[in-house]
Amino acid sequence: MAVYESMSTRTKPRSRTLERIGRTIPGILFLTPAVVAFLLLRYYPLIRGLLMSLYRWDVANPPGTYVGVQNFVLTIRSEVFRILLINTFALYAFGLLCGFWVPIVQSLLLSELRLGHYVYRFLYVLPVAVPGIASLMVWKYIWHPQAGLANAVMQGLGLPTQLWLSDPQLVKLTLRLPGLLGGGMGILIYLAAIQNISVETIEAAIMDGASAPQRAWYIVLPSILPIVGILFVLSLTGSLLTFDDVWIMTAGGPGYASTTLVMGVYQRAFVQNQFGIGSAWAVVILVMTLILTLGRLYTMREERM
């Protein structure tokens, strides 16, 4: 009897192990294609770019001449790189000024709205379904200096017309002014965070006589600050990778007035065929993105502590 019990106790862990393996294998099989695709399409180009940045890359006879960190030295010393870096951060600053705070305010207003809440939420999110290039082309027509709607409105108000996208002084602000309309997925994210706030807390504030602005400022905003911080980090990293909207609207012009760092990578690698320099630019952008992102995440952790 004792022998039978000892054998049964041994077989139970084995059966549990086999059962766990049986449950794990299908998951591994389903994940394998995605992991392989991720490694090939994400990490392989990253490693390839790191290697290319160490060479004066020769397309006809790769990899060309090994130059070590010379491409990085040329990148840091480049006046064009500094101009494009300033342009990128200027566009980010205008994005914060014109667009980052708007979905927060809209979500706060929607959370207080009782009549037509779902209708307005749907209308704010609907533009996400429209292809981005379509909306960008509409805005490009709006800012047209001769036939655009913006100058027609300026004339109707008795104000002087502007060159908008063709003006080196206005082009950065003009590119980010559409952000004042808000909308998009940011509203849904903030609304989801607001709906997770305890109903008892809101009701207690109402019973204490707190107005809607007071509830928004003292209860709702502090509760959603972690979400705001995460979206802030995403907007920061996204600003360093700005390409498509600026390329469609201005192609980097006039001159270098709206050219961003990623557009500089494209021009050096695929227009000037300087793949080594272009890869070095990309690596520098990657390092800056990591430093800014990790720095912001560290400060967020310190604020929570």
Report yes or no: 276 and 53 within 8 Å, Cβ to Cβ: yes
Which residues span the domain enclosing 123? 70-130+176-304
> Do 74 and 34 share a structural domain?
no
pLDDT score of 301: 76
Domain for residue 137, yes or no? Answer: no
Q: Is the pLDDT of residue 262 over 70?
A: yes
As a whole number, the mean pLDDT across the chain is 87
pLDDT score, position 171: 95
295 falls within a domain: yes
The reply to whether 206 and 271 lie within a common domain is: yes
Average pLDDT rounded to a whole number, residues 261-282: 93
Residue 26 lies inside a defined structural domain of this protein: yes
Whether residue 147 lies inside any domain: the answer is no
Q: Are residues 10 and 93 in the same domain?
A: no
Residue 118 scores a pLDDT above 70: yes
pLDDT of residue 3: 47
Q: Domain with 208 in it: what CATH number? A: 1.10.3720.10
37 and 76 belong to one structural domain: no
Whole-prediction pTM = 0.85
Shared domain for 191 and 289, answered yes or no, is yes
Evaluate if residue 303 carries a pLDDT over 60.
Answer: yes
Same domain, yes or no: 209 and 295:
yes
Residues 203 and 104 in one domain: yes
The 10s digit of each residue's pLDDT in 6-22 is 545 555 566 677 677 77
In a domain, residue 47? The reply is no
Q: Do 210 and 122 share a domain, yes or no? A: yes
| SS3 readout for 249-292 | HCCCCCCCCCCCHHHHHHHHHHHCCCHHHHHHHHHHHHHHHHHH
pLDDT 10s digits, 164-187: 999 999 999 999 999 998 888 888
**Cα–Cα distance list, 230 to 186, 190, 300, 305 (Å):** 11, 11, 9, 16
Q: Is the pLDDT of residue 63 over 70?
A: yes
Q: Are residues 76 and 22 in the same domain?
A: no
Contacts of residue 295, Cβ cutoff 8 Å, sequence gap at least 6: none
Per-residue confidence (pLDDT) for residue 31, from 0 to 100: 87
pLDDT of residue 95: 92
2 pLDDT tier (thresholds 50, 70, 90): very low
| Cβ pair 167, 104 in contact under 8 A | no
Give the span between the Cα atoms of 88 and 94, in whole angstroms. 10
Average pLDDT over residues 177-206: 88
Tell me, yes or no, whether 271 lies in a domain: yes
264 pLDDT higher than 80? yes
Cα separation of 42 and 161, whole Å? 46
Residues 274-299 have pLDDT tens digits of: 999 999 999 999 999 889 888 877 88
**How many domains, the chain?**
2
Specify whether 101 is located in the same domain as 23.
no
CA distances from residue 32 to 40, 42, 56, 211 in whole angstroms, order as listed: 12, 15, 36, 54
Domain annotation covers residue 136: no
**What's the average model confidence in pLDDT over 185-203?**
88
CB 165 within 8 A of CB 171: yes
Same domain for 114 and 204: yes
Write the pLDDT tens digit of every residue in 85-111.
Answer: 999 999 999 999 998 999 999 998 888
Residues 24 and 120 in one domain: no
Evaluate if residue 5 carries a pLDDT over 70.
no
